[in-house]
């Protein structure tokens, strides 16, 4: 069973063409499938077009948002309602090619948990789209340790248990391959086609670069320190406290042993500020540790994932 999840926002001209081409590809595969369109608060004829398609084709399912919540929310809604063993995600603007879906599925059958598309020959403006994307992909790969050429490509294939594991917020959908690293997911990528936009206009600009950079730090924290936040806050706090302590010790030496006036020195204020900030960060780390423990214990979750059990009672958790 394959579920194809497609977020759509003001794509009235593209959707009929996408639906026709997607049906041809999925019918050739010969298995069961469903197509889930998530209308992200469109204010054109997109909802009416999707409704007409769904009336004629029971394999098409439509989720409509009351307003525009963003692509991540649309992806998450699609994941929640998908019933397939494999979930394919793609854009509704015809820039992704449904003909690449069989190749994604072949990689899934080889044992990979996530197969990411790589728009090797990307048909977008260089300065406003391609250059920021190249920089962001390099940073994400370095920070997370999951090396992909194109995190921003929507055309991806996920095993359902991976896609459904996460609650997605903000703009986190593009970071799923990096987030899945925490659970030992096998990730790969393949070159895919990318077509110039024919209808409508892009919903993204260079302004989202700042959001992406902030999300990178969040992904790094979630992957490396979600179960040990004290190491982050406490480590930085201890360093600041130690530097502040050395500054104040130095000034104390000048005052007591050399009789110098230290009351009007900016260094005095800096030392006090570093000590106070260090104490606050350490306290934040302790509070974060308590929150993490409350989260895991209240939900009955474990900070690990078991792939297989041998000669153990299946009822045990």
Q: Can you give the pTM of this predicted structure?
A: 0.74
Q: Provide the pLDDT for residue 311.
A: 53
Residue by residue, DSSP assigns 245-281 as HHHHHHHHHHHHHS----TT-HHHHHHHHHHHHHHHH
Conformation bin of residue 311: beta by default, left when phi > 0, alpha when psi is -120 to 50: left
Residue by residue, DSSP assigns 176-197 as HHHHGGGGT--EEEEE------
Strands 187-191 and 114-118: parallel
**Of 118, 122, 182, 177, nearest in space to 146 by CA:** 177
The share of the chain scoring above pLDDT 70, in percent, equals: 88
**Of 224, 154, 158, 222, nearest in space to 186 by CA:** 158
- Residue of higher predicted confidence among 89 and 296: 89
Asked whether 305 and 185 are in contact (CB, 8 A), the reply is no
pLDDT over 80 (residue 200): no
Strands 86-89 and 156-159: antiparallel
| Residues 77/79/83/88 CA torsion (nearest 10 deg) | 130
Q: Long-range contacts for 107-110 (Cβ within 8 Å, ≥24 apart)?
A: 107/157, 107/188, 107/190, 108/157, 108/159
**Of 230, 105, 223, nearest in space to 172 by CA:** 223
| Residues 158/164/168/172 CA torsion (nearest 10 deg) | -20
* Cα 6 from Cα 14, distance rounded (Å): 12
Q: Provide the pLDDT for residue 203.
A: 57
Give the SS3 label for residue 156.
Answer: strand
Tell me the torsion sign for CA atoms 221, 226, 231, 235: positive
**Of 229, 221, 215, nearest in space to 140 by CA:** 215
Q: Provide the pLDDT for residue 316.
A: 46
**Of 242, 247, 239, nearest in space to 268 by CA:** 247
pLDDT over 60 (residue 314): no
Q: How confident is the model at residue 317 (pLDDT cuts 50, 70, 90)?
A: very low
pLDDT over 50 (residue 113): yes
Q: In angstroms, what is the C-alpha Rg of the chain?
A: 25
Domain residues of the chain, as ranges? 2-224, 229-299
Strands 33-39 and 2-8: parallel
Average pLDDT over residues 111-117: 95
Domain 2-224: assigned CATH number: 3.90.550.10
Question: Using one digit for the tens of pLDDT, what is the confidence trace for 204-245?
Answer: 555 566 677 777 777 777 777 777 788 888 889 999 999 999
């Amino acid at each position: 069973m394959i579920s194809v999840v497609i977020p759509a926002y003001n794509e009235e001209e593209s959707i009929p063409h996408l639906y026709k081409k997607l049906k041809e590809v999925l019918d050739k595969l010969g298995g069961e499938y469903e197509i889930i369109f998530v209308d992200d608060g469109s204010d054109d004829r997109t909802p009416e077009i999707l409704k007409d398609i769904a009336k004629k084709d029971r394999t098409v399912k439509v989720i409509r948002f009351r307003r525009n919540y963003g692509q991540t929310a649309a992806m998450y809604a699609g994941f929640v309602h998908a019933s397939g063993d494999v979930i394919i995600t793609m854009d509704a603007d015809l820039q992704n090619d449904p003909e690449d879906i069989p190749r994604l599925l072949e990689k899934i059958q080889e044992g990979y948990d996530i197969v990411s598309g790589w728009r090797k020959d990307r048909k977008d403006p260089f300065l406003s789209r391609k250059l920021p994307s190249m920089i962001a992909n390099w940073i994400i790969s370095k920070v997370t340790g999951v090396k992909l050429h194109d995190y921003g490509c929507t055309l991806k294939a996920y095993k359902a248990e991976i896609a459904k594991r996460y609650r997605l917020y903000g703009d986190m959908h593009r970071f799923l391959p990096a987030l899945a690293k925490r659970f030992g997911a096998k990730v790969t990528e393949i070159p895919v086609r990318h077509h110039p936009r024919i209808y409508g206009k892009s919903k993204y600009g260079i302004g989202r670069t700042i959001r992406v950079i902030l999300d990178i730090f969040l992904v790094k924290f979630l992957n490396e320190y979600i179960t040990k936040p004290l190491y982050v806050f406490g480590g930085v706090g201890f360093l600041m406290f130690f530097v502040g302590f050395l500054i104040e010790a130095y000034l104390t030496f000048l005052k007591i042993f050399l009789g110098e006036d230290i009351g009007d020195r900016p260094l005095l204020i800096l030392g006090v500020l570093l000590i106070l900030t260090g104490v606050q960060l350490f306290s934040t780390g302790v509070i974060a540790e308590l929150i993490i423990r409350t989260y895991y214990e209240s939900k009955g979750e474990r900070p690990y994932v078991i792939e297989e059990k041998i000669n153990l009672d299946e009822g045990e958790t």
